[in-house]
A and B are shown apart, each in its own frame.
Chain A
């Protein structure tokens, strides 16, 4: 490989040809501020329009300053990254960006986490000398994502995420000049676009132009209402991410403290979505076996592969882009919705109260869960199964709001019966986890034999698309896994063309699975954060005494006392759902129309 020698800040170094000054500087620990540039190697995400110019550096012998993110190293280059000229230019660039940015830092929900704010602070910008016209766009409050284009700095990270990685195509740059903005087709609100609500745009927005919808106040109101019984359910990915904002290492599990914090906030019952994940496995695993058996007995109309339906971003993507394939989606509801349905039927009966008296609050790593909770089919007489869904960052805010000293909280356990879960449920939070959990149960239900090693390593990893064949005692079950909607699209295209080799496919809309969800603490481009969250979940699985969903004693009792059998009539009523065709098409109007 050809290498190049250069000097940065009087340090000599050698880098492979093609390396940018930014990468070269990073390799020797020299930090150059960036705004528009973002690279997530494992996800093949790179946004590099070179438009913000905050990374300019001085290159000896060049008349103009060079953007470090766009300039490739050349032999003998002498680069200086913090001369007075460079710093002055960066400050002017920052002031120009700020001249069209609202000064609302104190009341902005991104305060303290904003990359623009951090760089302006580092540059020591104390005034903006360029007062000028400011953009005035209406704020779009969607079911999951809130867009405030007045705060947009046109870095276009969201556009790259939405198009290149997620292939959703909802966000794009429109208009030109001062009126240019990142928006949707025909500048409709997010609800009228092809947005699948995955929230990945929010997770990488450097400012607060894209943020999650906030439902904190509804939670506080419910907790304050003496007539309501409040129930919290927490998704697996939250417990390995929440600690970060309270000074714990990225990925550190804080399950016990999280439960204590929710109790301190005033929840009457703190339950675990993991319980419902075990329930999901019972239903989805059974459904897989039923479909597979019928299919193998020659019923070619049976929809195979079965595609998982836990992820609302994915479900929404299928409904909008591949409505002809909704039949392949498992009819099993997601764990969030199964939990709500059981809490407001089985558990309400145990308490002897009406479902309306109960308020179910879910704490999710996800923005799409808000949209899912609001889908009308998930309610009974207008009363939703899940009343309020908040995401991890909102829980952080609630804990701070209530002045709870999170770091010092003792560990405590979930309440019973809906707080007991197995190791299979914990790994739902990472890519490959759902299908591994399903295989553990389906294997034993099908073969009537105990599974050998519980860890199915073949299904794990961070590759965007993975596959494995699991031997069900002579029956090879072929599994496909994808995370990130762009990868998912590749698998579903195969299904559409009839070339898919799989019996079952697990899809998570977010890169990494739920651990990389749009509602999680910001990773600021650090992939290591996601990896640590994943390994933390696998460790939690290992530490559980029961690691297969069908062995959860509270699940066994739920079926015995209430549901009957998996995929039975009551299960179908409470735990299964149906899907819609939400594709936008152009039809043919009446030919007699006077237009022609």
Chain B
């Protein structure tokens, strides 16, 4: 017998979400949506619990999680970083900024730092093209970012955490 573990409160929460959708396998996407909303992400254990509640193979759950880019199996960092790769930001060097962020944080797009502080993602246009290239961290938007500014921006957050 192979056993994975999850805290009692999380299991209760997941059971409640499945119950809300009457444990209906046809509601899988809604259940996953709610579960990610409640827990932030969908690790293996969460998918196993949902599969067993909805009486479907966990492979099916995993298939859906990997099909939709909205679903994630890695937790977001405390400060989720989004780099805009929309046309305006892209032509003004957003890719260089992204590369610098990857180098500084030692993670790739879609990953989270070991200390759980930062996660890195790309987005398409935040509607602030006049400030291109744009990076948003948490709720805060940074405009006209250059690779040289990246270190300073991050150090403010590290400082806050001290």
Contact = CB atoms under 8 A, between A and B. Distances in A.
Given A170-B57, A172-B62, A185-B58, A593 B52 contact: no
A536 B63 CA distance: 42
A591 B7 contact: yes
Given A174-B66, A176-B66, A584-B48, A169 B56 contact: yes
A587 B62 contact: no
Nearest to B56: A169
B62 to A, nearest CB: 4
A591 B11 CA distance: 12
Contacts of A184: 59
B149 interface: no
Interface in B1-43: 1-11
Contacts of B120: none
B39 to A, nearest CB: 10
A556 to B, nearest CB: 42
Interface string A161-178: 001000011111111100
A185 B52 contact: no
Interface string B44-77: 1101110010001111111100110000000000
Contacts of B7: 588-589, 591, 593, 595-596
A583 interface: yes
Interface residues of A, number: 30
A588 B6 contact: yes
A323 B11 contact: no
Interface string A565-596: 00000000000000011111111110101011
Contact of B1 (A170, A176, A194, A581): A581
A582 B1 contact: yes
A163 B57 contact: yes
A586 B11 contact: yes
Contacts of B10: 596
B9 A586 contact: no
A185 B61 CA distance: 8
A193 interface: yes
Interface in A159-216: 163, 168-176, 184-186, 193-194
Given A175-B66, A176-B66, A588-B11, A185 B5 contact: no
Contact of B49 (A185, A582, A586, A593): A586
A163 B2 CA distance: 22
A176 B60 contact: no
A318 to B, nearest CB: 14
A185 B59 contact: yes
Interface string B83-115: 000000000000000000000000000000000
22 contacts: A169-B58, A169-B59, A169-B60, A170-B59, A173-B67, A174-B66, A176-B67, A185-B59, A186-B62, A193-B59, A580-B1, A581-B1, A583-B2, A584-B2, A584-B48, A584-B58, A585-B1, A585-B4, A586-B3, A586-B5, A586-B48, A587-B5
